[in-house]
Amino acid sequence: MRVVLAALVFLLVFAPAASADVTFTGVPASPTNQVTFDVGFSSPGAVRYDCVHTFPDGHPDETLNCGTTFAFVDLIDGTHTLRVTATDAEGASTTNTATIVVDTVEPPAPVITTPPEGAVVARPDATGTTAAGTKVAIFDGATKLGDAVVTGEEWTFETTTLADGPHAVTAVASDEAGNTATSPERHITIDTQPPAAVDPVQSGTGDFTFVSEVGATFECSVDGAAFAPCASPQQLSGLAAGDHTFAVAAIDVAGNRSETTTRTFTIPATPAATPDPNPRAMPAPTPPPAVIAATPAAELGRTLVIRPVSGKVYIRRPATSALLELGAVAAVPVGTEVDARKGRVRVTAAATRGKAAHRAEFFGGMFTVTQAADDIVDLKLSEPFGSCAKKTGVRVRKLWGDGRGRFRMRGQNAVVTVRGTRWLVQDSCEGTLTRVSQGVVSVRDTVKRKTFLVRAGRKYLAVPKKRK
């Protein structure tokens, strides 16, 4: 018995102790696009380290007695492993393995969809596409403007930092390993200055001519009526005798609006006719309303005026199947569908008498536009939405809006009401997202049946009902 106890004591005292774990330093996060680097390792009490480098392509393992670092040089793409065995003075050893995934393949270059090449805009906001899983940064030359918001394979970017003048904008996509790809330059001009006030010249009793900068359009109003698109010269007709007002403003190609100029003019009374020796009572004629001629006009609740601003815009009139490219300003009936996924369109709608017309620009989506008697302009996202359960079809659709007036945008799970702001409504399988970059919007969550105010810099997600 004493012999057995003595043997156990000997083993406990003199047997080699297990070496502590191997700790690595300098291992890059995987995946990485680094191909040459050193990895360090340590283990308390170790006097020897043996390393085995396993390659991803079946190349024979690299085995050597190493110090406390291992140098990787010109690694090929794929998964590499470094197995390090540390041995102490008593011969005890421990092993640990580091795994490094190398990826040096560039992602596909991102695409800038809007604004189009050569566009003149007041805000340098952009949209585009990129490979799934990548991040996108926007640059003006070598200066980074910021990071885009990426959803799936689409991205959007908003900024107000660019100064007026020409700019060369690029989008840079980066993958998880740090590889980058850059889009071709998109040349745009920032113009935030409104055109000079128009100086209408009266050339007749009710005739006016006026000019502005190249590419500008005009809106006119007579006697305080809603502003409507117009052109020079204006020959006003159907006015009753007496004093009247004519107001005009210019809108440049970037969407900036000039101050309104108003002129007062007088329509003289018609000279009295020679008295009839046998007079008969005649009802006084009702003077027809003034007419602003030569351009399409919006009519409250019936027609709207739409104008392509940039890119390609298509329209489909009610009860038709043809999708036609919008080449110029046009008056369209309510219920028209507009495809602005690859362009930007300006929508002008009439307001109640004495109020300025509703006007906003929309881009990045498809919508059907209507207007009710309360004069609110309704836009409903109309791009066919796929099946979230079956994961088929388009499962993200959206629409950006930017302007002033009373607009109401409808998604699957929310109704967004605005009055002069910049906002996004996006439908996805997660719900209807409202994001506000300027102003305040009212969001009606049609699932919760509650209304929320969303301010600039905030967002709200209306989540759909869960299927049982």
For the chain, domains (ranges, CATH) are 17-102 (2.60.40.10), 111-190 (2.60.40.10), 201-267 (2.60.40), 303-462 (2.60.120)
Per the CB < 8 A criterion, the answer to whether 406 and 358 are in contact is yes
Using 50, 70 and 90 to split pLDDT, how confident is the model at 14?
very low
pLDDT at 292: 45
Using 50, 70 and 90 to split pLDDT, how confident is the model at 4?
very low
Which residues sit opposite 137 in a β-bridge? 147, 172
Give the separation between CA 83 and CA 55, rounded to whole angstroms.
Answer: 12
Per the CB < 8 A criterion, the answer to whether 385 and 395 are in contact is yes
Number of helices and strands (H, E) in the chain? Answer: 1, 37
pLDDT at residue 124 tops 60: yes
Give the separation between CA 322 and CA 334, rounded to whole angstroms.
Answer: 16
More confident residue, 308 or 13: 308
More confident residue, 291 or 389: 389
Average the pLDDT over 70-75 and give the result.
92
Q: What percent of the chain has pLDDT over 70?
A: 89
pLDDT at 461: 92
pLDDT at residue 226 tops 70: yes
Per the CB < 8 A criterion, the answer to whether 29 and 55 are in contact is no
Tell me how many degrees the CA angle 48-52-53 measures, rounded to the nearest 5: 135
Average the pLDDT over 356-361 and give the result.
85
pLDDT at 294: 46
Phi and psi at residue 4, in whole multiples of 5°? -65, -45
Rounded to two decimals, the pTM is: 0.56
Average the pLDDT over 325-350 and give the result.
87
Instruction: List, in sequence order, the alpha helices (H) in 37-164.
Output: none
Give the separation between CA 274 and CA 288, rounded to whole angstroms.
Answer: 25
Strand order in the sheet with 201-202: 201-202, 207-209, 234-235
Average the pLDDT over 432-458 and give the result.
88
More confident residue, 197 or 64: 197
Which residues sit opposite 414 in a β-bridge? 445
Average the pLDDT over 151-174 and give the result.
88
pLDDT at 230: 86
Which helix (H) or strand (E) segment holds residue 3: the answer is helix 2-14
**In whole numbers, what is the pLDDT of the chain averaged over residues?**
84
Residues 6+ apart with CB under 8 A from 334: 301, 302, 303, 304, 318, 369, 370, 371
